[in-house]
């Protein structure tokens, strides 16, 4: 069994799409009311018309469930796969390498068997943070892993 938790709130996707639609609408109106091809209103309109669809595509494509770039935590019987940010790579922590997990507010500290610590900052809302901690606790049951906090 595998459980995947997306770290980005679903509202982010809709905010980007709505922002893109508003920018496109304002851009069209700026071009419509511009005095000439060389006016600032026309140039601003062109900029907003280009930026609007980019925001829409960013919201639709980047935050789709199938995209490998979205921030997520995936927990299964083998370990924890962590993708904190769209600009960072994935990290995998195997259950065998874990000694202790310390929960903090919007933070996970994984203490590994080689005396290293992996820290994950949960840049998300409280509901998703609690869901991540609950899921990790459920999968860690029955293993010799100490869980502190949470």
3-class DSSP assignment, residue 148? strand
Decide: 5 and 72 in contact? Cβ < 8 Å.
Answer: yes
Q: Is the pLDDT of residue 36 over 90?
A: no
Q: Quick: pLDDT tens for 44-79.
A: 899 999 999 999 988 887 777 677 778 889 999 999
Cα 57 from Cα 48, distance rounded (Å): 14
3-class DSSP assignment, residue 14? helix
Task: Read off the pTM.
Answer: 0.72
Tokens of residue 50, six digits: 């280009």
Q: Quick: pLDDT tens for 91-138.
A: 999 999 999 999 999 999 999 999 899 999 888 888 999 999 999 999
Q: Is the pLDDT of residue 140 over 80?
A: yes
pLDDT of residue 88: 82
Residue 78's closest CA among 96, 103, 54, 58?
A: 96
3-class DSSP assignment, residue 70? coil
3-class DSSP assignment, residue 79? strand
């Amino acid at each position: 069994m595998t459980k995947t938790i997306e770290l980005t709130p679903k509202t982010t996707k809709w905010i980007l799409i709505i922002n893109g639609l508003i920018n496109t609408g304002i851009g069209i109106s700026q071009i419509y009311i511009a005095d000439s091809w060389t006016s600032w209103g026309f140039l601003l309109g062109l900029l907003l018309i280009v930026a609007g669809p980019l925001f829409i595509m960013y919201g639709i494509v980047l935050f789709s469930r199938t995209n490998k770039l979205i921030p997520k935590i995936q927990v299964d019987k083998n370990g924890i796969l962590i993708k904190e940010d769209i600009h960072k790579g994935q990290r995998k922590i195997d259950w065998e390498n874990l000694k202790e997990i310390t929960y903090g507010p919007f933070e996970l500290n994984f203490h590994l068997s080689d005396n290293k610590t992996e820290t994950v900052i949960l840049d998300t809302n409280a509901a998703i943070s609690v869901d991540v901690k609950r899921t990790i606790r459920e999968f860690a049951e029955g293993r010799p892993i100490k869980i502190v906090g949470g």
